[in-house]
Structure 1
Amino acid sequence: MARDDSHTLRRTGSLAALTLSLAALAGCGGGEETSTTSTTPRPTSTYEDPPELQPGADGAYELRFGPSEVEIDGRRFCLRAYNGMTSGPTIRIPKGEDRKVHVNLHNDFTKSDFREIASMMGHGSRSCHDFNLTNLHGHGLHVQPNFATDDPADPCEGDGCAPEGRYFGDHVLHEVGPGESARYRWDLDEDGIHHEGTDWYHPHIHGSTAIQVMDGAAGALLIEGALDELPGIAKARERVMVMTQVPIDHENTVPLKEGEECTEDNLSVTDFLAVESLRATLINGKLRPRLTTPPGQVERWRMVYAGSPDEMGMKLHVAKDDSCSDFDKTPIETTQIARDGLTLPQFYRSDTVWVSPGYRADVMVKMPEGKQTLCLVGRRPNDLLGSVIAIVDVDPGAGEPTEVNLPAEADVAALAPPTSWTGTVDGEQMEVSCDSVETVHQKVVLLVPTPGSKPPDLSSDVALMSCDPGEHPHEVDPDAPVCICPDPNISCRKFDERRARGYRSDRVMTAGSPERWEIRAFDGHPFHIHINPFLVCPNKSNKEPNFAHWRDTMWVQAEDGPRDVIMNPRRFTGQFVLHCHKLNHEDEGMMELVEICDPGDEECLCQGTDESGACISQAGCQPDDLACQFAKTATDAYPAPPPPNPELCGP
């Protein structure tokens, strides 16, 4: 696929402790720094963009998930990753009007590897999952959620097809076992031209997502459009920065010995709890990469935060030496033009690029006019003083800049998705916006740990090990307490327990009917929903845009109060998920199954009817499910405690 000259130009170039840490991190939005860097500088490497994956002769992109030997910080590791690399290759989709993206996923493992995961940092309930089971999620895509629309001109043939000769859509409930494959087709423009932007792909297999993404199984998915052709952007130097956090220094990570081959029998990372440790941030699989750019150069940084579970505030400082062992306190302001692959309706200028797991940020950086070194510093709750994650050498020896002017704000804003539109709300046609839709239709509460529960005792060792799946069945425990929220949970319910009880879905909406949702969190979590982005209404955040704009992932914390969003379930019906994008939380059950139904489809919308013939929502409770009934009262009352209910909880 040929690209124009402007593209070539830019391509060459404990609870209390947790709460305290998150509050401190909030200062990364512009407060005074107390120090410069907290770590001794490690060796640097030369910055490189991820290689771009090219489609094969049949037009499909081939992704191979399997044991991958990679070198990081002078050591070799054997990781679960894509195409033998960390991170994965970039998939770039040129501008178009009827784009059908074929991706063939191959699982190159030959056997299962069942291991334990556990909530509450290992001290809560345990479950058993196959770390070699996988699938594929296009994070940020608005496409069919289950199966691609049947197209007689493009039938799926060969191994890995869905039933009836169809392709999979963005189907994250499908499982691709060792030795198996799956054929995906993402029809980007089926519901109008897909928004351009910086998205990404990664595995989404429940119970094993965190370990696989932590290993670096993540890659950029770039969808091009009119934004990329604007003056100030078209000739800017583009950098694709996929940030992962492989636990290279964790006590249970085992590098390869000299001469040792990487196989599925000697993988370096097998400890689920390593996700909780402080891990260095890699950019495109490299530690502290060093990039060079001309003075005055305008750069576009496409930043994908594939780390978890920590939030991170990134700032660009002027170095006091060429190794960034020290730097000026005052950071350089940058301009954000898009969040989560969605163009912003106005510039967001800040000295901090604040990200939570799953975020993307398109950042325009105007380089200084003289020769100097800049330090990109990341600060996280367990690294408040910060660590240098990249070094920028501004050097006249790098040649002439390809662009010296930032884009015009009005030009960028004109391409942003509108923040008001005409839709059907509660059966009435109306103008939909943050100001017009006042009724809260659905409430989502992200809880871990459960309020009032005792924090885990972290003084004792926790051992997670290989496991027999037969000893960890997903069954309903009849002796489980009714009036205690499971941990972790969404709205006092866990994904696995709802599946074990046979619920079809956990939350339903009607296609074409916008709804106002209230999202709350007890401590702090990134809320993410698949398929349809949501309109974020103005809020009190000091970390990211607080004007109305579109997102698919959003940080929610108690200190900022509830977040109001407008959901707009456009066109596509079917099942997908919403979850906390701290991926270990999602693996442990902090996820819901969402279904979009056609208007009037009672089988989809209702699990039955009550005595008066009214619909009992699929999101509701079975008559004997007392824990579900308690969960509803707890969610409705939150942040207040649920009212006493002797029928559920005794006097």
Structure 2
Amino acid sequence: MDVMARVMALGGALAALGGALAACGGEEEQATMPGELPAYEDPPELQPNAQGVRELHYGPSAVEVGGKRLCLRTYNGMLNGPTIRIAKGNGRKVHVDLHNDFTRSDYREIASMMGHGRRSCHDFNLTNLHGHGLHVQPNRATADAADACEGSGCAEEGRYHGDDVLHEVGPGEVARYRWDLDEDGTHHEGTNWYHPHIHGATAIQVMDGAAGALVIEGALDEVPGIARARERVMVMTQVALDHENTVPLGEGEACTEENLSVTDFLAVETLRATLINGKHTPRLLTAPGQVERWRMVYAGSPDEMGIKLHVGKDERCSDFDKEPIAMTQIARDGITLPQFYESDTVWVSPGYRVETMVKMPAEEQTLCLVARRVNDPAGSVIAVVDVNERAGAPTETTMPREADVAAVAPPTTWTSVVDGQEMEVSCASVQKVHQKVVLLVPTPGQDPPNLHADVSLMSCDPSKHEHGVDPEDPVCLCPDPNINCRRFDQRRARGYRSDRVMTVDTSERWQIRAFDGHPFHIHINPFLVCPNSSNKEPNFAHFRDTMWVQIEDGPRDVLMNFRKFTGQFVAHCHKLNHEDEGMMELVEICAPGDQACLCLGTDENGGCISQAGCMAGDAQCQFAEKATEAYPAPPPPDPALCGP
């Protein structure tokens, strides 16, 4: 078997395991769970200060979880961060000041291919803030004389930062953000989240618990059956509690930036317990017949999970019925679904949000929320639901009507410009594929990593690490990991302004593919997923901002609608270690006719060479274009680029 075939076999096996998550049950083995069960609590909500600003502090925090005291990088001394809730309205401007309370840098190695590939050096104490799911200005908030940014932490020209993930907030610094939710019409309501998005350190910071829910209220919250339902905000994270290099705090030991518990980037790859709002297997108390609305945020990485609800055979869920209970999903990725999606599995990939309605049984009993992963196929109980009259009278006993929910969902057709012509846009009307996105790890042409060899990542000297181009990088192999056979750092080092360009207020059909399995995510503008054959999540047209793709399923077609805002942001794999390693693109939306933004240069006929194209002499870029176009087949031989 040649190298390509071995890599394809590995990718296919991984994809098959990922696809099995939704189908696997508890027939043969029952899930494992720990001892004492803490009481479930929603995260506290972050209230504005007297100036109307919500203040987030990123720094070292002592937390207790799973019977251990750990010193972690978190927000406001909590595991996880507080919920930011925005009431229904128009003209809403959300002010957030992010304070980096570290006092020094902490440079650590990261490495691709589960530690066996290219290494680079990043400051784990450098940070910033991303509103995952927001449709707002990507770089700077729009200038407003009545609300100018003053003092330290502002962007240029006295403006606030928008959803600017390219900005870096160093130790001791502050950054002032303003998210103008309704600048492009009333923002869609739903469950979103916020987290750091600093290239090279995103995974370690989110894994530590620097993540919180971002709830935007609107018409859906007033629908009968939802308005009075018992709401739960469930932020699911996976702290490296038991990793061999995690160092708990000693008895009475203070938490400082000198003794952080988690510093090993490779801990992201290990099996870790799923916490809900920072608690290990919390117990929820609810009334018989109660209708509950679960706002689920999957802030873990890099594993996919299939979450099922079973009837327990005892009050601790040490055993449960094999047949799960169906649940009704009403929203995905912070956007209301146009129809109910009823399934016995809530299937989530990193970055997903799912809003699920659950009607509790009429009799007292115990329910078990069980999550299954590729490396935990028997599953683990992540929450115990105690259906008991001690909870008091239910607040709602009637489920919402599908028609009422569908009435407030965004339409799946719209009017936009496609290829220079204004038209009605839908999955049926736009068939031309304008852009291809291929996410590759492992990459064709490279040996699979040795998963059994010991790998050690240490602190590092940034001056001795190259983040970009290595003269020894092979031209005719895709770097690991990558999108379209290109790595984020390589393009930055070579001086490319952006990696993918579009024109504002236009629409395009994109085709998303993956080698093994990856969650594709893009900032600022959600996309319409066209009908497909998925057996894990809705396969009717609906809006998303994060979507699982794998080689087994073939291409996933989506419609992009580049509304209102110009500027730069990113698209990437939301397995956060893959993003840190370079599986990310710098995306830019340009004003019509902005040649400097749209064009890398001109050809011999004066035509625009797209910013996504190749500089003269960049052979690796030329190979990447051929590899992307040919995928899933290997690129045709090209002796001029690759030799005989």
Which TM-score band applies after superposition, normalised by the shorter structure? over 0.9
Amino acid at match of 2:588: E
Equivalent position of 2:610 in the other structure: 617
Equivalent position of 1:56 in the other structure: 49
Equivalent position of 2:451 in the other structure: 458
Amino acid at match of 1:576: F
Amino acid at match of 2:399: L
Rounded Cα–Cα distance in structure 2 between residues aligned with 1:178 and 1:31: 45
Contact 1:522–1:557, Cα closer than 8 Å, also in 2: yes
Equivalent position of 2:385 in the other structure: 392
Corresponding residue to 1:149 among 130, 142, 147 = 142
1:116-127 matched pairs, under 5 angstroms:
116-127=109-120
Equivalent position of 1:572 in the other structure: 565
Corresponding residue to 2:323 among 323, 326, 330 = 330
Contact 1:36–1:327, Cα closer than 8 Å, also in 2: no
Contact 1:503–1:618, Cα closer than 8 Å, also in 2: yes
Contact 2:85–2:215, Cα closer than 8 Å, also in 1: yes
Rounded Cα–Cα distance in structure 2 between residues aligned with 1:455 and 1:207: 23
Equivalent position of 1:166 in the other structure: 159
1:506-517 matched pairs, under 5 angstroms:
506-517=499-510
Equivalent position of 2:97 in the other structure: 104
Equivalent position of 2:371 in the other structure: 378
Equivalent position of 1:309 in the other structure: 302
Normalised by the length of structure 1, the TM-score is 0.97
1:481-500 matched pairs, under 5 angstroms:
481-500=474-493
* Alpha-carbon offset, residue 39 of structure 1: 2.4
Equivalent position of 1:199 in the other structure: 192
Give the 3-state SS of the residue equivalent to 2:16 in structure 1.
helix
* Alpha-carbon offset, residue 19 of structure 1: 4.2
Corresponding residue to 2:512 among 511, 515, 519 = 519
For residues 412-460 of structure 1, what are the alpha-carbon distances to aligned partners after superposition, in whole Å with 9 as ceiling and x for unaligned? 0011111011111001111100000010000000000002421111222
1:29-428 matched pairs, under 5 angstroms:
29-30=22-23, 33-428=26-421
Contact 2:439–2:483, Cα closer than 8 Å, also in 1: yes
Rounded Cα–Cα distance in structure 2 between residues aligned with 1:208 and 1:616: 33
Give the 3-state SS of the residue equivalent to 1:384 in structure 2.
strand
Q: Any gaps of 5 or more consecutive residues in structure 2?
A: 1-6
Equivalent position of 1:602 in the other structure: 595
Amino acid at match of 2:552: E
For residues 498-548 of structure 1, what are the alpha-carbon distances to aligned partners after superposition, in whole Å with 9 as ceiling and x for unaligned? 000000000000001100000000100000000000000011110000000
Rounded Cα–Cα distance in structure 2 between residues aligned with 1:463 and 1:26: 31
Change (3 A) 1:244 1:475: closer
Give the 3-state SS of the residue equivalent to 2:62 in structure 1.
strand
Corresponding residue to 1:479 among 472, 486, 489 = 472
Amino acid at match of 2:73: R
Rounded Cα–Cα distance in structure 1 between residues aligned with 2:350 and 2:316: 28
Rounded Cα–Cα distance in structure 1 between residues aligned with 2:607 and 2:189: 42
Contact 1:147–1:167, Cα closer than 8 Å, also in 2: yes
Rounded Cα–Cα distance in structure 2 between residues aligned with 1:440 and 1:490: 17
Give the 3-state SS of the residue equivalent to 2:308 in structure 1.
strand
Rounded Cα–Cα distance in structure 1 between residues aligned with 2:569 and 2:575: 18
Rounded Cα–Cα distance in structure 1 between residues aligned with 2:189 and 2:30: 36
Amino acid at match of 2:429: S
RMSD: 1.1
* Alpha-carbon offset, residue 21 of structure 1: 5.1
Equivalent position of 2:630 in the other structure: 637
Contact 2:12–2:551, Cα closer than 8 Å, also in 1: no
Contact 1:86–1:284, Cα closer than 8 Å, also in 2: yes
Contact 1:36–1:329, Cα closer than 8 Å, also in 2: no
Give the 3-state SS of the residue equivalent to 2:261 in structure 1.
coil
1:555 equivalenced with 2:574 (yes/no): no
Amino acid at match of 2:314: D
Contact 2:25–2:378, Cα closer than 8 Å, also in 1: no
Rounded Cα–Cα distance in structure 1 between residues aligned with 2:314 and 2:502: 56
Equivalent position of 1:4 in the other structure: none
For residues 260-294 of structure 1, what are the alpha-carbon distances to aligned partners after superposition, in whole Å with 9 as ceiling and x for unaligned? 00000000000000000000000000000001000
* Alpha-carbon offset, residue 607 of structure 1: 1.2
Give the 3-state SS of the residue equivalent to 1:46 in structure 2.
coil
Give the 3-state SS of the residue equivalent to 1:440 in structure 2.
coil
Change (3 A) 1:40 1:430: closer
Change (3 A) 1:113 1:31: closer
Rounded Cα–Cα distance in structure 2 between residues aligned with 1:41 and 1:22: 30
Rounded Cα–Cα distance in structure 2 between residues aligned with 1:194 and 1:67: 34
Change (3 A) 1:212 1:584: same
Equivalent position of 1:445 in the other structure: 438
1:534 equivalenced with 2:527 (yes/no): yes
Amino acid at match of 1:332: I
Contact 1:25–1:384, Cα closer than 8 Å, also in 2: no
Amino acid at match of 1:575: Q
Equivalenced residues, count: 638
- Percent identical among aligned pairs is 76
Give the 3-state SS of the residue equivalent to 1:630 in structure 2.
helix
Give the 3-state SS of the residue equivalent to 2:562 in structure 1.
coil
Rounded Cα–Cα distance in structure 2 between residues aligned with 1:467 and 1:32: 44
Give the 3-state SS of the residue equivalent to 2:147 in structure 1.
coil
* Alpha-carbon offset, residue 367 of structure 1: 0.3
Rounded Cα–Cα distance in structure 1 between residues aligned with 2:193 and 2:24: 31
* Alpha-carbon offset, residue 17 of structure 1: 6.2
Contact 2:14–2:517, Cα closer than 8 Å, also in 1: no
Amino acid at match of 1:42: G
Rounded Cα–Cα distance in structure 2 between residues aligned with 1:34 and 1:318: 13
Rounded Cα–Cα distance in structure 1 between residues aligned with 2:16 and 2:604: 49
Equivalent position of 1:585 in the other structure: 578
Rounded Cα–Cα distance in structure 2 between residues aligned with 1:266 and 1:632: 46
* Alpha-carbon offset, residue 23 of structure 1: 1.9
